[in-house]
Amino acid sequence: MRIGVMGSAVNDGTIDQVVDEARRVAEDGLHTFWVSQIFGHDALTVLAVVGREVPGIELGTAVVPTYPRHPMMLAQQALSVQAASGGRLALGIGLSHQIVVESMWGLSFDKPVRHLREYLEVLVPLLEGASVQHRGDAFQVHGAVQVAGGSRPPVLVAALGAQMLRVTGTLADGTSTWCVGPKTLRELTVPTLRQAAADAGRPEPRVVAALPVCVTDDVDAARARAEHVFAVYNTLPSYRAMMDHEGVSGPKDLAVVGTEHEVRDRLAELAAVGVTDLNAGVFPGDPEEAARTRAVLRELAGAAAAA
């Protein structure tokens, strides 16, 4: 299992701080540095800068919302990041949430599965350099993009439910999850995604699992902190459905917390159910916990590289 870390500075820090985070992740020998797209810096723009400053490491978005970005425009942007970074982008995309799409952006969230299917039918060929002639219900697109030095990045979709997973397995390269635990990954995510990819004659997909991670001797305090830090995800229906499937009360029960041995065991469980990539949302309570968590991730990344 590849080991990555979700950066935090992209939303509340400076671009220099994002670069510093990515450089530290690369120095630790981790595989991927992930950034979210919320209401701070634009994730892809920042990754283009990071790609020029920090060599070697894969750079992923987790995730860029589709509704406010026409697929042709996103193709141009992603290919530009590929050109800037030497082909190291993992393009994570997702629908966002109905409350954001409708209440903040003023767009329709009608038929999200159809939206995703057509979005991928337009985006992926454009990333591959093809000219697209698409007449659908959600998009009418006729054209191509040409970005010198750009190459097709892997496309990972924040697919949670069965319909979204089937579209993703058919048209994309994998999924990027959040608030999805090992039971749900084993019973729903991995088998549905793999079957759809196999039916479409596509390679076995990547499964990127993002979860809160903290090495600590005070599990109760860590879970209480997780309950506070990640409380908003209890209010979003798509994440709440995944936690209900898992049988947990909230993100605090999904958090990978405990001693070094306990965290290693929990992460090994993820690998055993088919997770190919960890996106660790590190949330330490103090510098010691931060150092211990970083050491475990560094150790696991080294072991994966040696295997």
Q: Which residues of 146-169 are buried (b: 16+ CB within 10 A; e: fewer)?
A: ebeebebbbbbbbbbbeebbbbbb
**Can you tell me the distance from the alpha carbon of 40 to that of 36, in angstroms, rounded to the nearest whole number?**
9
pLDDT tens string 129-139: 999 999 999 99
**Can you tell me the distance from the alpha carbon of 291 to that of 297, in angstroms, rounded to the nearest whole number?**
10
Q: Measuring CA to CA, how many Å separate 252 from each of 146, 222, 249, 257, 258?
A: 45, 8, 8, 9, 12
pLDDT tens string 31-67: 999 999 999 999 999 999 999 999 999 999 999 999 9
pLDDT tens string 79-126: 999 999 999 999 999 999 888 888 988 999 899 999 999 999 999 999
At position 161, the amino acid (one-letter code) is G
Neighbours of 49 (CB within 10 A): 18
Residues 6+ apart with CB under 8 A from 97: 236, 237, 238
∠ CA(109), CA(111), CA(114), 5° rounding? 120
- Structure tokens, 136: 């659908």
**Can you tell me the distance from the alpha carbon of 284 to that of 195, in angstroms, rounded to the nearest whole number?**
37
pLDDT tens string 158-191: 999 999 999 999 999 999 999 999 999 999 999 9
The class of domain 1-157 in CATH terms is alpha beta
pLDDT for 254 beyond 80:
yes
Residues 6+ apart with CB under 8 A from 73: none
pLDDT for 305 beyond 90:
no
Half-sphere exposure of 94 (CA within 13 A, CB side): 23
Q: What is the pLDDT of residue 105?
A: 87
Sign of the C-alpha dihedral computed for residues 20, 24, 29 and 34 taken in this order: negative
At position 266, the amino acid (one-letter code) is R
Its pTM stands at 0.96
Terminal CA-to-CA distance of the chain, rounded, Å? Answer: 10
pLDDT for 306 beyond 80:
no
Q: What is the pLDDT of residue 98?
A: 84
